[in-house]
C-alpha cells in the first residue's frame, strides 16, 4: 500500500496495475458531502425568506443560523475530497461523478427532510446515475 499516492497496486514482476480507482471513490465521497451541504444551504436560507446577496440582514440571518456551521464543514470537506480526486484522475470523470452523487443525496434529502415526492421517474434517475458510476468502476 503506497499511502503517498493513495493507490493499492497489484504487481506481477515489474508490471503493476492500480486495483482500485480512487478518483471514483474520492469523487463519490465529495459528491455525498456536497449533497449534504446543499441540503444544509436550503435549511440555512429558510429564515431569510427570499435571500438577497446585497442584503446585510440576509447575510446575518444566513451565517448565524445553525445549518451554516454544518454547511461550512461539509462544504470544505467536499472541496478537499474533490481536489484529492483531481490529483488522482481526470477532471471530466471526477466532476461527473461528483455532480451525479451530489444530485442523488440532495434529491434524497429533499424527499426525506422537506417532504418532496419520490416518483418512479426520480427513482429511475437515481438508479441510472448509480449504474453509470458502477460502469465506470468496472471498465
| 3-class DSSP assignment, residue 117 | coil
Least distance CB 15 / another protein (angstroms): 20
Number of residues that bind another protein (CB under 8 A): 56
| Residues 6 or more apart in contact with residue 125 via CB below 8 angstroms | 103, 107
Q: Is 48 in the site for another protein (CB under 8 A)?
A: yes
> Sign of dihedral through CA atoms 107, 112, 117, 118?
positive
CA-angle at 90, arms to 133 and 13, nearest 5°: 90
Query: Measured from the CB atom, is 12 or 110 closer to another protein?
Result: 110
Query: Measured from the CB atom, is 14 or 117 closer to another protein?
Result: 117
The x, y and z cell numbers of residue 97, run together, are: 461523478
Least distance CB 11 / another protein (angstroms): 21
How many alpha carbons fall within 13 Å on the CB side of residue 91? 0
Q: Is 100 in the site for another protein (CB under 8 A)?
A: yes
Chain residues binding another protein by CB under 8 A are 3-6, 35, 38-39, 41-42, 45, 48-53, 82-84, 86-87, 90-97, 99-100, 102-103, 106-107, 109-111, 114, 116, 119, 121-122, 124-133, 135-136, 139
Amino acid at each position: 500500500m503506497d499511502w503517498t499516492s493513495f493507490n493499492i497496486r497489484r504487481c506481477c514482476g515489474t508490471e503493476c496495475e492500480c486495483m482500485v480507482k480512487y478518483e471514483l471513490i474520492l469523487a463519490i465521497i465529495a459528491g455525498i458531502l456536497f449533497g449534504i451541504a446543499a441540503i444544509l444551504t436550503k435549511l440555512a436560507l429558510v429564515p431569510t425568506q427570499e435571500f438577497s446577496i446585497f442584503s446585510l440582514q440576509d447575510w446575518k440571518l444566513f451565517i448565524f443560523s445553525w445549518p451554516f456551521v454544518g454547511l461550512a464543514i461539509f462544504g470544505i470537506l467536499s472541496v478537499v475530497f474533490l481536489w484529492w480526486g483531481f490529483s488522482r484522475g481526470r477532471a471530466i470523470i471526477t466532476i461527473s461523478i461528483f455532480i451525479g452523487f451530489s444530485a442523488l443525496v440532495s434529491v434524497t434529502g429533499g424527499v426525506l427532510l422537506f417532504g418532496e415526492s419520490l416518483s418512479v421517474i426520480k427513482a429511475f434517475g437515481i438508479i441510472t446515475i448509480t449504474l453509470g458510476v458502477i460502469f465506470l468502476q468496472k471498465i
